[in-house]
C-alpha cells in the first residue's frame, strides 16, 4: 500500500508531535511538522505538492483557490477550530477535498483579554522588563480598572465570558454589535449601548466579533475618534475588524491612551511594522488559543479525524 504524507502546518512551538498520539497513524502515514510559516503561496505550493493530508492551525496559512488548485494530491484538510475563513470551501468541494475541524474544550482567549487589559493599565510586563534590565525601582504608574467601564463589541460566547471576568474585577460592562438587542444584554447582565455611546463612554473597548464581510472595518476612523483620550482598545479577534490606519494614527498622535493587539493584518507581524515602534501599544503574537491544553485537544482530534478517514468512516466534525 502506498503510504500517505501528512503535513502539520505552522507548529511554531515544535510541540505538535508530542501533544497527540500520532503513532496511531504510523502504519499508513508519514507525518511532517513545519515549524515556520511559508513565506509565500509559491513556497507553500512547493512544500505541499506531494502532501495528501494537511493539518492547519486556523488562518495561519491561507488556502485560497489558487493554492488549492496547486496541490494535486491533497485529499483531507483539517483545521483547528470549527470555522476557518482562510479556506476556500468551494474550491475544496470542487476538488472533492474533505475538510474537517476541531473543537475547543475551553476558550483561553477571554483570560488573555483580561491579561492585556491589566498590562495596559498596570504595566506589569514593562516593569518586569525594567527590573530584569537593572532598573532601581518602580517608574510607571498604573490605572485601576475597578469602577471603570468596559465596552464589548460583540456579546457572543467569548464576549459574554469576558464580561463575567470583567465584572469579577468590579468593572461596569456595556455592549454593542450590529444585531445585539437590549434583551440579550439583560440576559448577560450587561448594559446595552449604541455604537456611538459605547465608543464615547467606555474606558476600555474590546473586540469580540467574528471576521466576515459584514464585520470587516466595523471599527472605523469615526469610532476611534469618539474614544476618550484616556481610553484603551483591545483586539484579540481579527485585525481587519479595526481600521488599522486610523488606529495607528490615533496611537501616534496620542489621541487615545493605548491599545493591546494580539492579531494583525499580516502574521507574523513584519519586524519593520510601525506598531512595533510605539510605546503605547502592547503587542502579543496571536496568543489567543496558544495553550498546551488547547493544542493537545486540537492535535488529538486531528489524529482522530485522520484515523476515521483512513478507515473509510465519515470523519468527525466534517465541514465540507
**Residues that are catalytic:** 238, 267, 286
Q: Which three cell numbers stand for residue 275?
A: 506598531
Collect all residues with Cβ–Cβ distance below 8 Å to 144 and sequence separation of at least 6: 121
Cα 139 to Cα 137: distance, rounded to the nearest angstrom: 7
Cα 34 to Cα 109: distance, rounded to the nearest angstrom: 24
Sign of CA dihedral 137, 140, 144, 150: negative
Count of residues for the chain? 320
Which residue is it, cell 494580539? 262
Q: Which residues pair with 55 in a beta bridge?
A: 8, 78
Inter-helix orientation angle 157-168/109-122, to 10°: 40
Is the Cβ–Cβ distance between 174 and 200 less than 8 Å? no
How is the beta sheet containing 98-101 ordered, strand by strand? 29-33, 4-8, 53-56, 76-79, 98-101
Amino acid at each position: 500500500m502506498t503510504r500517505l504524507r501528512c503535513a502539520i502546518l505552522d507548529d511554531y512551538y515544535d510541540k505538535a508531535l508530542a501533544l497527540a498520539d500520532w503513532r496511531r497513524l504510523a502504519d499508513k502515514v508519514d507525518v511532517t511538522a513545519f515549524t515556520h510559516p511559508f513565506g509565500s503561496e509559491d513556497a507553500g505550493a512547493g512544500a505541499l505538492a506531494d502532501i495528501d493530508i494537511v493539518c492547519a492551525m486556523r488562518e495561519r496559512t491561507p488556502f485560497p483557490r489558487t493554492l488549492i488548485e496547486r496541490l494535486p494530491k491533497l485529499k483531507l484538510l483539517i483545521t483547528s477550530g470549527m470555522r476557518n475563513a482562510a479556506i476556500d470551501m468551494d474550491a475544496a468541494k470542487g476538488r472533492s477535498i474533505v475538510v474537517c475541524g476541531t473543537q475547543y474544550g475551553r476558550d483561553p482567549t477571554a483570560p488573555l483579554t483580561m491579561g492585556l487589559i491589566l498590562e495596559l493599565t498596570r504595566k506589569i510586563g514593562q516593569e518586569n522588563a525594567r527590573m530584569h534590565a537593572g532598573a532601581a525601582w518602580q517608574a510607571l504608574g498604573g490605572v485601576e480598572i475597578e469602577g471603570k467601564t468596559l465596552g464589548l463589541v460583540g456579546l457572543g460566547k467569548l464576549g459574554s465570558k469576558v464580561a463575567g471576568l470583567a465584572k469579577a474585577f468590579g468593572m461596569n460592562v456595556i455592549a454593542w454589535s450590529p444585531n445585539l438587542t437590549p434583551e440579550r444584554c439583560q440576559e448577560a447582565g450587561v448594559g446595552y449601548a449604541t455604537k456611538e455611546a459605547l465608543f464615547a463612554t467606555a474606558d476600555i473597548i474590546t473586540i469580540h466579533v467574528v471576521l466576515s464581510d459584514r464585520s470587516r472595518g466595523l471599527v472605523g476612523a469615526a469610532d476611534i475618534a469618539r474614544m476618550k483620550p484616556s481610553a484603551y482598545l483591545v483586539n484579540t479577534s481579527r485585525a481587519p475588524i479595526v481600521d488599522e490606519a486610523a488606529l495607528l494614527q490615533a496611537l501616534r498622535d496620542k489621541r487615545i491612551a493605548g491599545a493591546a493587539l494580539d492579531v494583525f493584518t499580516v502574521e507574523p507581524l513584519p519586524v519593520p511594522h510601525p506598531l512595533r515602534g510605539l510605546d503605547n501599544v502592547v503587542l502579543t503574537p496571536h496568543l489567543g488559543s496558544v495553550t498546551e491544553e488547547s493544542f493537545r485537544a486540537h492535535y488529538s482530534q486531528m489524529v482522530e479525524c485522520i484515523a476515521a478517514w483512513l478507515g473509510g468512516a465519515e470523519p468527525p466534525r466534517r465541514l465540507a
